[in-house]
Chain A
Amino acid sequence: MANKKGGGKREGGSGTALIGNGRRSAATKAESPDSRFPISDSPRPSAGLTRDQKLDLYYWMRLTRTLEERLVALYRQTKVVGGLFRSLGQEADAVGSAFALERRDVLSPLIRNLGSMLVKGATPLEILRQYMAKGDSPTRGRELNIHFGDTDRGFIGQISPLGDMVPVMAGVTLTFRMRRQDRVGLVYVGDGATSTGAFHEGINFAAVQRLPLVVIVENNGYAYSTPIEKQTAARQFVDKAIGYGIPGAQADGNDVLAVYDVTRQAVDHARAGGGVTLIELMTYRRKGHAEHDNQSYVPAGEIDRWAAENDPINRYLGVIRESLGATEAEIAGIDARVAAEVDAATDEAERSPPPQPLDALVGVYADPPGERPLWFREGSDRAVDVNERAEGWGTWSSRTGSA
């Protein structure tokens, strides 16, 4: 739980720690050789990334942060009509983990995983339209913020009740197995969602079925205002893996390469038929639950320490300067590209039209595809005649309100 108090960097090395070995009860089942976490002595997968790929990791993190900063500006101009949820300080865990998936794999993001959606192909334009409730947003104005998905691009839209996406992703990966597809699922939950029944039922079901699913618990210290001490009596969230009979691993969530490594190893394990892995990524939520939250519950100095000492983007800048020899011009070039993309997307999103009210009535069911407006809604006279006024119905006319 050092992340709560500290702000210090975590150990480097492989960035992963083997916690628990997923041993099953010997009384009912012989220990299976692949029930141990397979990664301890394998080389770091990130060693196989090209220089361009490593620079891409920086690009995706920078894009996440710049896009969110733009959203803050739009929020203050009241152009973001609902709440705004930041992932400041958590960009590495979202980006590094999604980067470990193949294009055909499917993830289910949570509210701090804008970065993972961008890696999976969501565009800044979609995000901006979505926050600004535009008619051509991915959900046509029906849903909030980053609550949207696209199964073709491999991300499934989350809902607000926490933990629900775990059983849903169990079903997605169950389908992969039934169809003998070489595909893996990844689902994110926060520290708070581990307390829900849905999390437990979903991960247990997936574990029993040995489904190709990776479950990432992003431990960012707080669930809204609730610190992890009030969320669990467990020493650390990764310990829960033992109870499910699955491997667990913990990694520094602010080290994007460590996140990539641990996720990639779990993904490979799942792809090889090894079943579910629980990964705890240690990170820190530097902003409130949403933009309105003043974080009065956070001890003084804690946020500043994390910002100064353990910012994932600053840390990775050090890595790419030192180990990739990235020049300042190269980095500035990426930053400029990100800024230009966000500017262009903002201009386009601002031009997008709002949804038409009648669009609200379409698409609850495949059949019937739409509802007619209720009689009391202005402009609904014809619909009343068609829909609500029974044949041969009395003498009162809804059209004129008179006999």
Chain B
Amino acid sequence: MAEVTYLEAIREALVEEMDRDENVFCMGEDIGAYGGAFKVTEGLLGRFGESRVIDTPISEIGIVGAAAGAGHMGMRPVVEMQFIDFIANAYDILTNYVATARYRAFLPCPMVVRGPSGGYVRGGPFHSQNPEAGFIHTPGLKVVYPATAEDAKGLMKAAIRDDDCVLFFEHKYLYRRIKAEMPAGDHIVPIGKARVAREGKDVSIITYAAPVWKALEAADVVEKEDGLSVEVIDLRSLAPLDDDAIFATVRKTNRVLVLHEDTRTGGIAGEITARINESCFEWLDAPVLRVTAHDIPLPYAPQLEDFVLPQTSDIVRAVRRLAGY
């Protein structure tokens, strides 16, 4: 079987689920004839027609609200934020309306909100964001952020079949940079389960999305130069968090680095650190460290963006500090 990119894997999932269930449909800006800003939905219009691949006005509130209403009536909409940065426009309707619907009104909202996320692509302040932390704070939403092509496909299929709203963050740096052969058959990756991306015994790096690859690079560096064995946990799902996987790696290595591309203050690393503190305090041989972006709107120039976002060398430095604590 041929290898497919992270982007093509997402498209495969959409096509397979739309073939499987006629209630699945797509909405978004420029997703039809144009195939989406990054071409994730390319070809879908020709295959499924205008009634199931709907080009919308520039209206994130309208798109998300309409998805909720369709979800109430039994549909399974998949809506695209052209860049995930624009999900901020829909923050009210996602957090106040969608997230509360089942609890306050027994209204199902089976829907997926997906979009290109993340930096390292010279996208500047409004095409590079990682706003996931704002949503894991909201009960009622699920959040996934795959790092591999296999997980991109399997999580998308799981998200579409989930009976609640799933925010599906796609890392645009990974869209065409990574490839994999897709597992055969109906490939589903369950939401809420982390993955051990690399086994190790000295230090754990807990991370997700594009930084998983930087963590793996850093693990190679410290193995070669320091003889350190680093375990890398790819969370895959951010809400719900896989506490079992997090606590297991803490108990295994006793030294933990939490790594993410989002800014530091209020980022998910803080939550993970707090959970480790509450449940694994006595297993720690060193303070839990964070490597994150600086608390800065993401700048455009390569010299600035690379300085603000976490880099492999930052991770190496943090791992060495943990190992030597």
A→B interface (CB under 8 Å): 139, 142-143, 147-149, 151, 156-157, 159-161, 164, 166-176, 178, 197-198, 201-202, 204-205, 208-209, 363-368, 388-395
Q: Is the CB of B25 within 8 A of A178?
A: yes
Complex Cα distance, B101 from A363, in Å, reads 10
Q: What chain B residues lie within 8 Å of A178 (beta carbons)?
A: 25, 51-52, 70, 75
Instruction: Confirm or deny: B69 has a beta carbon within 8 angstroms of a beta carbon on chain A.
Output: yes
15 contacts between A and B (CB under 8 A): A139-B106, A159-B96, A161-B93, A164-B97, A168-B65, A171-B65, A171-B73, A171-B75, A178-B52, A198-B93, A204-B59, A363-B102, A363-B103, A388-B279, A392-B251
- Name the residue in B69, B77, B139 with the highest tally of chain A Cβ atoms < 10 Å from its Cβ: B69
State how many angstroms separate the Cβ of B249 from the closest Cβ of chain A.
12
Q: What chain A residues lie within 8 Å of B187 (beta carbons)?
A: none
Q: A205-B56, A392-B251 are in contact. Are A170 and B62 (CB under 8 A)?
A: yes
Residue of A nearest to B165 (CB): A365
Q: What chain A residues lie within 8 Å of B73 (beta carbons)?
A: 151, 171-172, 175-176
Q: Is the CB of A390 within 8 A of B108?
A: no
State how many angstroms separate the Cβ of B158 from the closest Cβ of chain A.
11
Instruction: Confirm or deny: B68 has a beta carbon within 8 angstroms of a beta carbon on chain A.
Output: yes
Per-residue CB contact flags for chain B residues 230-263 toward chain A (1 = under 8 Å, else 0) read 0000000000100000010001000000000000
Q: A149-B107, A205-B62 are in contact. Are A161 and B69 (CB under 8 A)?
A: no
Number of interface residues of B (CB under 8 A): 51
Complex Cα distance, B100 from A143, in Å, reads 10
Q: Is the CB of A166 within 8 A of B65?
A: yes
Instruction: Confirm or deny: B211 has a beta carbon within 8 angstroms of a beta carbon on chain A.
Output: no
Instruction: Confirm or deny: B72 has a beta carbon within 8 angstroms of a beta carbon on chain A.
Output: yes
Q: What chain A residues lie within 8 Å of B100 (beta carbons)?
A: 159
Q: What chain B residues lie within 8 Å of A197 (beta carbons)?
A: 61, 89
State how many angstroms separate the Cβ of B91 from the closest Cβ of chain A.
11
Q: A172-B72, A388-B279 are in contact. Are A366 and B105 (CB under 8 A)?
A: no
Q: Is the CB of B97 within 8 A of A156?
A: no
Q: Is the CB of B279 within 8 A of A390?
A: yes
**Closest 10 pairs between A and B when the two form their complex, measured CB to CB:** A171-B69, A167-B65, A201-B62, A171-B66, A366-B163, A201-B59, A394-B282, A175-B73, A205-B62, A172-B69
Instruction: Confirm or deny: B295 has a beta carbon within 8 angstroms of a beta carbon on chain A.
Output: no
- Name the residue in B73, B100, B281, B282 with the highest tally of chain A Cβ atoms < 10 Å from its Cβ: B73
Complex Cα distance, B63 from A167, in Å, reads 7
Extra pairs beyond A198-B92, A367-B164 (10, CB < 8 Å): A147-B105, A149-B107, A167-B68, A171-B75, A172-B70, A175-B75, A201-B57, A201-B62, A205-B57, A364-B140
Complex Cα distance, B77 from A151, in Å, reads 18
Residue of A nearest to B66 (CB): A171
Q: What chain A residues lie within 8 Å of B106 (beta carbons)?
A: 139, 363
Q: Which of B57, B69, B93, B251 contacts A390 (CB 8 A)?
A: B251
Q: Which of B54, B57, B65 contacts A164 (CB 8 A)?
A: B65
Instruction: Confirm or deny: B67 has a beta carbon within 8 angstroms of a beta carbon on chain A.
Output: yes
Q: Is the CB of A167 within 8 A of B62?
A: yes
Q: Is the CB of B72 within 8 A of A205?
A: no
Complex Cα distance, B240 from A197, in Å, reads 31
